[in-house]
């Protein structure tokens, strides 16, 4: 399954050395992951983190497309994730299709619905700039969450065949656990490959030109708003897919999981990894998902340490010390 997908994406390009190396690397990492998980070399705690790590990578990479390459600050990424998670979960709860097909359909539906909302939100909002866009996207994240809170979701049939309606605030329960390391690995790899290819295409160069100077881009005939909206929709789609997979990892899902703190966390991955660096986003998403778990030993101090590390890393990133170190190396 995995091999086919990666092959398909890569075969579009010439099979050059770089692509073959990355294909081998992708398969090697998967085998390593499979060995680690199947032989229980990783303990339970780490195994349970594989899906969240993958989801965070997908979210970080897709947000990087908007923030790093298009240069627009979005604080509502968790909102798209929530849309994907809830549509996907409501779909699997209410349909009777066989497992695999159901899950694939759920992933597609979740992603498409999130992308649709990305379009509806993107068209009016992307006229705004900078901090205004940030606060409006944050607002949209909160709007989505309070709407989810206030509607009733059909969540399957009870033993007598009557459809159960659950209030959004109560969250969804009894979600079938489809996600495992294989699914999340495939989804993450596809996301990364698609986004890397977008970035390296003509479209990616257009995004960068808009980021660097939108007026100049417009003057050479680029339809700035069109490309902004398309980028936003792509990012929303992948956030939705990440949401579906994340939702099918736990049986219970609450709307409070998708509040603005999560959006901010995703942004932290992007900024800390380096804006416009896909590799950076991946590394930051892995590190910052694992780090709080490592700090769990120190239980109540862990978030305190996390926040200090966050401030320290930002200050270090912009300090003279770092430039000196880099100069020494070079």
Which of 180, 271, 189 has the alpha carbon at shortest distance from 238?
Answer: 189
- Find out whether 254 and 88 touch, Cβ atoms under 8 Å: no
Q: Which of 27, 36, 254, 264 binds other proteins (CB under 8 A)?
A: 264
State yes or no: residue 304 binds other proteins (CB under 8 A): yes
State yes or no: residue 271 binds other proteins (CB under 8 A): yes
State yes or no: residue 319 binds other proteins (CB under 8 A): yes
State yes or no: residue 275 binds other proteins (CB under 8 A): yes
Tell how far CA 177 is from the center of its chain: 19
- What part of residues 148-167 is at the interface with other proteins (CB under 8 A)? 149-150
State yes or no: residue 136 binds other proteins (CB under 8 A): yes
- What part of residues 206-225 is at the interface with other proteins (CB under 8 A)? 215-216
State yes or no: residue 317 binds other proteins (CB under 8 A): yes
Please say which residue, 153 or 183, places its beta carbon nearer to other proteins.
Answer: 153
Stretch that binds other proteins, among 13-21, 137-145, 188-196, 281-289 (CB under 8 A): 137-145
State yes or no: residue 268 binds other proteins (CB under 8 A): yes
Stretch that binds other proteins, among 111-119, 172-180, 185-193, 317-325 (CB under 8 A): 317-325
Binding-site size, other proteins (CB under 8 A): 46
State yes or no: residue 72 binds other proteins (CB under 8 A): no
Q: Which of 18, 127, 296, 324 binds other proteins (CB under 8 A)?
A: 127
Instruction: Give the nearest distance from C-beta 156 to other proteins in angstroms.
Output: 23
Q: Which of 146, 200, 201, 223 binds other proteins (CB under 8 A)?
A: 146
Please say which residue, 45 or 256, places its beta carbon nearer to other proteins.
Answer: 256
- Find out whether 184 and 37 touch, Cβ atoms under 8 Å: no
State yes or no: residue 303 binds other proteins (CB under 8 A): yes
- Find out whether 42 and 255 touch, Cβ atoms under 8 Å: no
Instruction: Give the nearest distance from C-beta 80 to other proteins in angstroms.
Output: 16
Please say which residue, 194 or 275, places its beta carbon nearer to other proteins.
Answer: 275
Residues engaged in binding other proteins (CB under 8 A):
67, 73, 124-125, 127-132, 134-136, 138-140, 142-143, 146-147, 149-150, 169, 215-216, 260, 264, 267-268, 271-272, 275, 300-301, 303-304, 306-308, 310-311, 314-315, 317-319
């Amino acid at each position: 399954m995995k091999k086919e997908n990666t092959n398909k994406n890569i075969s579009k390009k010439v099979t050059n050395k770089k692509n073959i190396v990355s294909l081998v690397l992708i398969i090697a990492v998967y085998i390593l992951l499979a060995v680690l998980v199947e032989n229980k070399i990783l303990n339970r705690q780490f195994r349970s983190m594989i899906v969240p790590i993958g989801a965070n990578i997908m979210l970080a990479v897709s947000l990087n497309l908007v923030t790093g390459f298009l240069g627009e600050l979005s604080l509502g990424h968790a909102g798209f994730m929530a849309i994907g998670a809830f549509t996907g979960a409501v779909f699997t709860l209410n349909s009777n299709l066989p497992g695999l097909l159901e899950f694939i359909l759920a992933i597609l539906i979740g992603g498409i619905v999130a992308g649709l909302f990305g379009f509806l939100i993107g068209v009016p909002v992307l006229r705004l700039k900078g901090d205004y866009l940030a606060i409006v996207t944050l607002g949209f994240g909160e709007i989505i969450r309070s709407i989810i809170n206030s509607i009733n979701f059909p969540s399957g049939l009870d033993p007598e065949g009557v459809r159960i309606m659950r209030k959004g605030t109560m969250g969804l329960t009894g979600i079938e656990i489809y996600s495992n390391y294989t699914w999340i690995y495939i989804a993450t790899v596809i996301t990364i490959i698609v986004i890397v290819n977008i970035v390296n295409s003509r479209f990616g160069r257009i995004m960068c030109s808009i980021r660097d100077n939108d007026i100049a881009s417009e003057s050479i005939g680029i339809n700035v708003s069109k490309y902004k909206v398309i980028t936003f929709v792509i990012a929303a789609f992948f956030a939705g897919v990440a949401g579906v997979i994340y939702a099918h990892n736990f049986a219970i899902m609450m709307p409070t999981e998708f509040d603005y703190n999560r959006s901010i966390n995703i942004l932290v991955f992007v900024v800390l990894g380096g804006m416009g660096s896909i590799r950076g986003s991946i590394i930051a998403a892995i590190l910052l998902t694992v780090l709080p778990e490592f700090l769990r030993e120190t239980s109540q101090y862990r978030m305190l340490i996390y926040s200090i590390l966050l401030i320290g890393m930002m200050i270090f990133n912009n300090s003279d010390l770092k430039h000196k170190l880099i100069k020494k190396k070079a």
